[in-house]
Amino acid sequence: MRNIPIRILLTLSWINLYGSDHWAFQPITKPTLPLVRNKDWPMNGIDHFILAKLEKRGIPAPKPAEESVLQRRLSFDLTGLPPRGATKETSLLQQVEVLLASPHYGERWGRHWLDVARYADSNGLDENAAHANAWRYRDYVVQSFNEDKPFNQFLTEQIAGDLLPDNGNLDLRNKNLIATGFLSMGPKVLAEPDMVKLEMDIIDEQIDTLGQAFLGLTLGCARCHEHKFDPVTLEDYYALAGIFKSTTTMESLKRPTRWKENSIASPGETKLAEKHNTLVEAQNNLITAFRDKENQVLLNSGKFKKLPKKPNLHYPETIRKKLEKLLVDLKTLEESKPKLDSAMGVSDGKVTNLPVLHRGEPDLAGNVQARGFLSVLNIPNAKVPDENSSGRLELANWMASPKNPLTARVIVNRVWHWHFGKGLVPTPDNFGLLGDSPSHPELLDWLAAKFIEGGWSIKKLHRLILDSATWQMSSSAQSETVKRDPHNKFYSRAPIRRIEAEAIRDTLLLISGRIDTSLGGSTWDFENRKLVFNHTSKDSTSYNINRRSLYLPVIRNHVYDLFQLFDFPDPNIMKGNRSRTTTSQQALYLMNSSLVIETARKLAVDNAGNVSTKGIDRLYNQIFQRSAKEKEMEVGRSFMEAFTVNASPQERFQALAQCLICSNEFIFLK
Amino acid sequence: MNDLIRNNELMLTRRLLFGRTALGLGTAAMAGLMNRGNQVLGANLNGGIHHKAKAKRVIYLFMSGGPSHLDLWDYKPKMQQMYGKDLPKEVRDGQRITGMTSRQKTLPVCPSKYKFTRQENNADGVWVSELLPHTATVTKELCVVHTAFTEAINHDPAITYIQSGSQIPGRPSLGAWLSYGLGSMNENLPSYVVMHARSRHAEQSLFGRLWGSGFMPSQHQGVLLRSQGDPVLYLNNPAGVTREDRRAQIDALSALNKAQHKRFADPSVLARIKQHEMAYRMQSSVPELMDLGKEPESTFELYGNDAKTPGTFAACCLNARRLAERGVRNIQIFHRGWDAHGNLAGEHGNQCKDIDQGSAALIKDLKERGMLEDTLVVWGGEFGRTPYCQGRLGKDNYGRDHHPRCFSIWMAGGGVKPGITYGQTDDYGYNIADVDGNMLKPQPDKDKWTPGTMHIHDLNATILHQLGIDHKQLTYRYQGRDFRLTDVHGHVVKDILM
């Protein structure tokens, strides 16, 4: 944080006094739509804000994109897959509805949230233990997006699901318990011998993640010192830390350390398991009684002064056989114990208020701080934690309050970011003083206000954005536009975006007819808590399934190579904006990986190596979802003709198919 | 605006404006500097960006797991008198102990079973263990630092810390910082190459984070050069596809992309065309690199016959020299298995056999070729090992636990003073000490530095310094914050520089 730019140094002196004046801490108001000269351009409110700025800078009003471009953009945007069979008769808005209703929508947008939730199927760090139940949280997130769960409810469930009423509804209770997996998903130093440090590190990770994820604030800094830039005090930090100290995330902080998992079994299953336990116990008692009796017989026989070390060796043959049978039965019973489903998550622990620790050192404890929230975001009448519970529910309510100026702005900005590849606030995880200012502050507020009015519905927000001229504009621009808005800061043209790792793989599987689009569930057969990847540096995880990429295991410290190559985020930390890089290793992947080669081969077989222009046109439709232009057919034909003397028609066709997959049009969205 | 997009744009702008400079291909940090207008580009900085560079490249021999300074470099004869006795409390002085020995009733002092000999260097000589006979022949080139230290006590945080400046994952690695700061000197090979050397005790996993780019764009991450299968993932054409086929495909692709470019008027699209060409070139440059056929027999006399077997440490060292010759700026070899908790005699013996001749050969080879003066070679692990025994203490075998308070590393070439030692530890090799043996308790502190010590931030600051980078000025803005490799810490240890 340091190496402070001069801009910041100049402002540092007044931050502590006036930090609360920062734009992001001000109440959300709903600005009126700005006036624009070009009355025909705007399709909805969003466009007024965008056009007003364009006009102010003399940037020409952007042109709309072609329909086929929009179809492709829309389909990837909402489902992460290319368009399939959308007919020209259906309007774009109808297509929006179809896609929003598709279960693939939740897979796409759930994955966005999983980036923020640092989702992983293993713990990482020294002891990379399997999170074999993490997928339940993943499915919960996907389902929440598909159901269009109000975002304030989504937030509350993840922070305090275990404390919500369920009226005896088992499914609801389980969902709420699974939701709290958000708090437990972070990497933990399971090898840490110092229990106090281990616990405080986990609490810190929770506070830092939820601060960035929901509030756009880096609260972790305040563990050791007053936040250097944001008005977050040490007292604020320990008020929050007390809430998580009063929460149980770990079942055991002692070696062997274990994270907590909540049982999500039905009462019937639990009862069955309990009954089974009594059977095991009864069998154990039986064996003990049997041994005691036979031992007494041994002693009474007078052959031994005291009981020999292994008395069973001295039992008569028949008795030994009887004992063996009893032991075998016990083993069978133990092995047939019904497995109870469980999910990573938290529960309330002993209610505790923490002392402020200067520099984060337990030796430098100051005054005890009552559990509470951030003083800079004072929400009138917010209920504060009491002595009866950890205070997570109060925290969640405080965060999800329509009066909290950050929560709605942060999520609205994230959704915008995921639609446009950049946020109105370019630093989606940091709305603090060091974050970038919004390019269109009024638009951000207008969207946030609409979002709250609309009951925190993400799908309504999508409709609003997708039905705007802003989202529907073309990516090509006149030179005048480029001159006046070189970095496209003002939305003078649609951004060109590379599709993500998951979309690349899913599309290749789809166009080669291999994809398995079944939904949800665990795809990874691995024993819970077993080390995935340790000592040997060998990871036996197989990625050899044709399910959508969302369902491939995310192994910390050893992310799947395709994902690594194409900017999948480091699952150790939350990340709201993925990088988008271009490297030569990506090129090698597209040239030589079996995924791409097999896709090209399937396409060639599918087209029976039809080197005619008709075959080329079909190939264009399969890969780019558009017809080939005359010129392109010509280029394709001459390429195939010239390609290697001895190649079969199918091989020529395969080579062309691969060229198209490697080309920019496949990997970029216009 | 989005940091990454901005960065890419800056880089591209610089490329478009200046084409290829003496520095080679794009250096992202340079673009930022130039915008600030406070630096002059050119050969007078010898590749550096803040001041004249002494080293053009780094070869970092990383001993993963924590080699025992007490059995290799830090000679402590007085420990013999304390054999088997409990380590005095005042020596331990409240140091945290790992979960592995915290339940031991005693911490018996465990002197090294190995014989040390005093080797000549350019100062008062240096003690070297019998485990390193080859390295002992190049002590006139080495600067042996006895006072490296860290705070981390477990492997993962410690190795993440020394490699990225933070114990918490998510930051770019040293190599990524160098790639970001200095760019590449070669159009046919990546600027940061990582190798994993084979080890007989391959414990402690290695993972991408250690050479990753963290929050920087992934073009700065290390490229793993593998000894089995494709040397670079997906490098080789599938069976039946010839180089001519590939050329034809890439030409067609190029034509397609150029036609599309009119419709994709975007710098990242242009960059992508270049990356396909680079990939194509790597398909021949990497096999050429890996082909040792033209190396004379004398090379294998120097590096040992092991160097003929791909994946051995010696082979990696030879590759490192070949990479250095071909303009790769940043080369890192990871060798695992130094985590000797129970069977140090068995394991360290083998470990040293793995690395000794190759390390020494690399120094000699670079020296002979006149490359040592501008190549910085670094040897070391993430922490040291305890002077007390873990598990059973025997005369012939013992174990040692992790020890962060002091450990030994060496540096050579690249403007580092040759043939010296730096700093000293107490009679147990437990604490850093002053010349009179009094305990020093150095802390990483942005304002104060304790002479004679080298915190891992100091090490990283010093490495950057030799490459012409001021560690305080090389920053990367992410989520509104300017990050540095050395966080707020780090002091260049000028005492060891020429």
Phi, psi at A45, each rounded to 5°: -55, -40
Residue A272's pLDDT is what? Answer: 92
How many CB pairs below 8 Å do chains A and B form together?
239
B438-467 tens-digit pLDDT = 999 898 888 889 999 999 999 999 999 999
Burial annotation B237-259 (CB, 10 A radius, 16+ → b, else e): eeeebeeebbebbbebbeebbeb
Residues 150-209 of A with CB under 8 A from B: 187, 189, 191-194
Q: Is A461 helix (H, G, I), strand (E, B) or coil?
A: helix
Residue A13's pLDDT is what? Answer: 39
Token pair 């198209």 is found at A660
Looking at beta carbons, which residues of chain A come within 8 Å of B236?
A: 592
The residue type found at A530 is: K
Interacting residues of A400 by C-beta distance below 8 A, sequence separation 6+: A151, A152, A153, A155, A156, A407
- The CA distance from A463 to B331, in Å, is 51
Nearest of A519, A520, A524 to residue A132 by alpha carbon: A524
Looking at beta carbons, which residues of chain B come within 8 Å of A413?
A: none
Q: Nearest C-alpha of chain B: how many angstroms from A386? A: 33
- The CA distance from A348 to A247, in Å, is 4
Of the ranges A337-341, B40-44, B287-291, which one carries the lowest mean pLDDT score?
Answer: B40-44
Residue A535's pLDDT is what? Answer: 54
- The CA distance from A376 to A373, in Å, is 9
- The CA distance from B219 to A579, in Å, is 10
Q: Which sequence spans correspond to the domains of chain A?
A: 6-101+405-484, 150-262+347-399, 265-340, 588-669
Q: Nearest C-alpha of chain B: how many angstroms from A55? A: 21
Interacting residues of B26 by C-beta distance below 8 A, sequence separation 6+: B11, B12, B14, B15, B183, B184
A587 and B479: CB-CB below 8 Å?
A: no
Structure tokens at A653: 């066709």
A441-454 tens-digit pLDDT = 999 999 999 999 99
Q: How far is CA A342 from CA A119, A133, A181, A261, A339, in A?
A: 17, 7, 11, 6, 9
What one-character-per-residue DSSP string does B169-212 give? S-SPPHHHHHHHHH--S-SSS-SEEEEEE--TT--S---GGGG-
Q: Is A531 helix (H, G, I), strand (E, B) or coil?
A: strand
- The CA distance from A161 to A163, in Å, is 5
Looking at beta carbons, which residues of chain A come within 8 Å of B278?
A: 584, 587
Asked if B332 and B110 touch (Cβ cutoff 8 Å), the reply is no
Token pair 């791909």 is found at B310
Residues of chain A with pLDDT under 70: 1-19, 86-88, 226-228, 362, 534-539
- Is B269 at the interface with chain A, CB within 8 A? yes
The HSE-up count of residue A75 (CA atoms within 13 Å, CB side) is: 17
Which residues sit opposite A355 in a β-bridge? A368
Structure tokens at A455: 């009951």
pTM of the model: 0.84
Q: Is A258 helix (H, G, I), strand (E, B) or coil?
A: strand
Q: Which residue from B9, B97, B336 is facing A487, i.e. has the nearest CB? A: B9
pLDDT band at B181 (very low <50, low <70, confident <90, very high): very high
Among chain A residues, CA nearest to B474: A3
Residues 398-427 of A with CB under 8 A from B: 421-422, 426-427
Angle at the Cα of B292 from the Cα atoms of B290 and B294, rounded to 5 degrees? 130
- Is B249 at the interface with chain A, CB within 8 A? yes
B154 and A126: CB-CB below 8 Å?
A: yes
Residue A16's pLDDT is what? Answer: 43
Peptide bond into B287 cis (omega under 30): no
Q: What percent of chain B has pLDDT over 70?
A: 88
Looking at beta carbons, which residues of chain B come within 8 Å of A477?
A: 265
Residue B200's pLDDT is what? Answer: 82
Asked if A63 and A50 touch (Cβ cutoff 8 Å), the reply is no
Residues 198-217 of B with CB under 8 A from A: 202-209, 212, 214-217
Interacting residues of A64 by C-beta distance below 8 A, sequence separation 6+: A70, A469, A472, A473, A474
Q: Is A43 helix (H, G, I), strand (E, B) or coil?
A: coil
Q: Is B198 helix (H, G, I), strand (E, B) or coil?
A: coil
Q: How far is CA A556 from CA A129, A661, B173, B219, B242, in A?
A: 10, 29, 17, 20, 37
Residues 480-509 of A with CB under 8 A from B: 482, 487, 489, 496, 498
Which residues sit opposite B126 in a β-bridge? B119
For the beta carbon of residue A299, count every other beta carbon within 10 angstroms. Answer: 15
Asked if A574 and A429 touch (Cβ cutoff 8 Å), the reply is yes
- The CA distance from B389 to B87, in Å, is 10
Q: Which residue from A496, A557, A660 is facing B205, i.e. has the nearest CB? A: A557
Residue A311's pLDDT is what? Answer: 86
Chain A contact probe: residue of B207, B243, B261 with most A CBs at under 10 A = B207
A343-368 tens-digit pLDDT = 999 999 999 999 998 777 767 788 99
Between residues B218 and B120, the one the model is more confident about: B120
Among chain A residues, CA nearest to B250: A659
- The CA distance from B376 to B469, in Å, is 14
Nearest of A175, A93, A76, A150 to residue A421 by alpha carbon: A76
Q: Nearest C-alpha of chain B: how many angstroms from A509? A: 19
For the beta carbon of residue A474, count every other beta carbon within 10 angstroms. Answer: 16
The residue type found at B377 is: V
- The CA distance from A467 to A92, in Å, is 9
Give the 3-state secondary structure percentages of chain B, helix then strand then coil, rounded to 5: 40, 15, 45
pLDDT band at B164 (very low <50, low <70, confident <90, very high): very high
Q: Does the CA dihedral A559-A560-A565-A571 come out positive or negative? A: negative
Token pair 């031994």 is found at A304
- The CA distance from B118 to B131, in Å, is 13
- Is A429 at the interface with chain B, CB within 8 A? yes
Nearest of A110, A117, A88 to residue A186 by alpha carbon: A117
- The CA distance from B120 to A151, in Å, is 71
Burial class (CB in 10 A: 0-12, 13-18, 19+), A32: exposed
Token pair 């790639």 is found at B179
Q: How far is CA B353 from CA B134, B314, B411, in A?
A: 10, 10, 20
Structure tokens at A358: 């200067």
Asked if B440 and B134 touch (Cβ cutoff 8 Å), the reply is no
Chain A contact probe: residue of B96, B233, B284, B464 with most A CBs at under 10 A = B233
Residue B258's pLDDT is what? Answer: 73
Token pair 């019937």 is found at A268
- The CA distance from B457 to B463, in Å, is 10
Q: What is the ipTM of this complex?
A: 0.76
- The CA distance from B25 to A487, in Å, is 23
Compute CA B111 distance to the chain's CA centroid, rounded to the nearest angstrom. Answer: 29
Structure tokens at B237: 């054409």
Please state, rounded to an integer, the average pLDDT across all residues of chain B. 86
